[in-house]
Amino acid sequence: MLNGLHIEGDSPLHRLPARGKLVLLFVTAVGLFLVSDLRVLVPALALSTGLLLSTGVGVREAFRRTRFVLFTVLILAAANYYLHSPHEALVVFCRLAALVLLAAAVTATTGISAFMDEVTRLLMPLERRGLVQAADVSLAVGLVIRFVPEILARYRDIADAHRARGLPVRPLTTLVPLIILTLKDADTIAMAIDARGFRRH
């Protein structure tokens, strides 16, 4: 996600401000769901693919990053094929795949810091009404993105520990220690946030 998948570069998408990219993504998403004409959706999919590749990500890496979501999109399209028609399946596939690839392009070209700034700005009206602390919400978003690799690494460690002890890797016996250790880490991370003065109030 974001910085985990961010690519340094100087493509047009890299140069576009984060807000512009997020607005583009939002407008495109709405547009794609309003259109069912394959004469629009197929070029949209081609354009999204081109945009993603223009970031310098490379075909293999682009596929690696999007394959899981694209596989899900494929399942949805298959369901539509059986339940509706081949045309409907193609519409669903082109629409969702175009969106996934465009989102991947935005992700590849947007740093987490810029993204957090936009989240903060977006939530400022709510902060003014006393509903949220905008900076805290954006910090929470940043934390999720930052610690996903840590949690995955911890999961792998727990699974390896199971194997080393000759135990089967079962969801219950891996998830329980994972949750406990993650919560324990969360206390330290909260303390670190205070120690580094990241909360503004």
Partner 1 sequence: MDIVFTAATVRYGGRDARPPLHLALCERRMGVVGLNGSGKTTMARLINGLVKPSEGAVTVEGLDTVTDEKAARGKTGFIFQNPQHQMILPVLAEDIAFGLKNRGFTKAEIAERTEAILARFDIAHLARRRVHELSGGETQLAAIASVLVTGPDLLILDEPTNQLDLRNRAMIERTLAGLPEQVIVITHDLALLDGFDRVLVFHAGRLAADGRPAEAVAAYREIAAC
Give the phi and the psi of residue 11 in degrees, each rounded to 5.
-75, 165
* Half-sphere exposure (Cβ direction) of 76: Cα atoms closer than 13 Å: 15
Q: Which of residues 78-137 bind partner 1 (CB under 8 A)?
A: 111-113
Tell me if 150 contacts partner 1 by CB under 8 A: yes
As measured in angstroms, the least distance from the Cβ of 27 to partner 1 is: 27
Q: How many residues bind partner 1 (CB under 8 A)?
A: 28
Binding range to partner 1, per CB under 8 A, among 58-66, 68-76, 96-104, 192-200 = 192-200
Shortest CA distance to 110 belongs to which of 11, 4, 6?
6
Tell me the closest approach of the beta carbon of residue 112 to partner 1, in angstroms.
Answer: 6
Among 6, 14, 21, 65, binds partner 1 (CB under 8 A): 6
Options 66, 139, 174, 178; binder of partner 1; rule CB under 8 A: 139
**Residue 3 in the binding site for partner 1 (CB under 8 A):** yes
* Residues of this chain that bind partner 1 (CB under 8 A): 2-4, 6, 8, 111-113, 139, 142-143, 145-146, 149-150, 153, 185, 188-189, 191-198, 200
